[in-house]
Every structure is written in C-alpha cells, then in structure tokens.
C-alpha cells in the first residue's frame, strides 16, 4: 500500500503529484497493464531484443557525432 504523508499547509495538487510519482516508481500501473492480457514469452523476448537493438543503435549514433 502506498502512503503519502501530507504536511500541514500542503496543497492537494502537490500531494497528488507525490502519489503519482510513487506509483510510477513502484511500477504498479505498468504491472496492471501487463496483467490485463497474456503475452507469449517468445513475444516478450523478441520485444526486449528489439528494444535493446534500438537503444544500442541510438548510443552508437550518439558516439559517432
């Protein structure tokens, strides 16, 4: 359970921003989206490989500049 302590005089907007940041850090929303549908392990591995290739390509292009 995520708890956000709200200090006296702190606005609701700021508290909501803290809560949103904690949710993103813990990965709750991402995990929820992943569990809504089944993805085959082979598809997951393929996506991870493609992402790694893309990132490697970006890094190598950045080094060459």
Inter-axis angle of helices 28-36 and 12-26, nearest 10: 60
First to last CA, the chain: 46
Task: Supply the pLDDT for residue 2.
Answer: 82
The radius of gyration of the chain's CA atoms, rounded to the nearest angstrom, is 19
DSSP per-residue letters across 8-38: TT--HHHHHHHHHHHHHHHTHHHHHHHHHS-
Quick one: pLDDT at residue 30? 86
pLDDT tens string 11-58:
999 999 999 999 889 888 888 888 999 999 999 999 999 999 999 999
CA of residue 26 relative to chain centroid, distance: 8
């Amino acid at each position: 359970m995520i708890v956000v302590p709200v200090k006296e005089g702190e606005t609701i907007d700021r508290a909501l921003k803290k809560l949103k940041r904690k949710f993103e850090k813990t990965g709750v929303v991402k995990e929820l989206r992943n569990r809504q549908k089944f993805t085959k392990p082979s598809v997951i591995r393929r996506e991870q490989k493609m992402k790694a290739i893309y990132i490697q390509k970006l890094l190598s292009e950045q080094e060459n500049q």
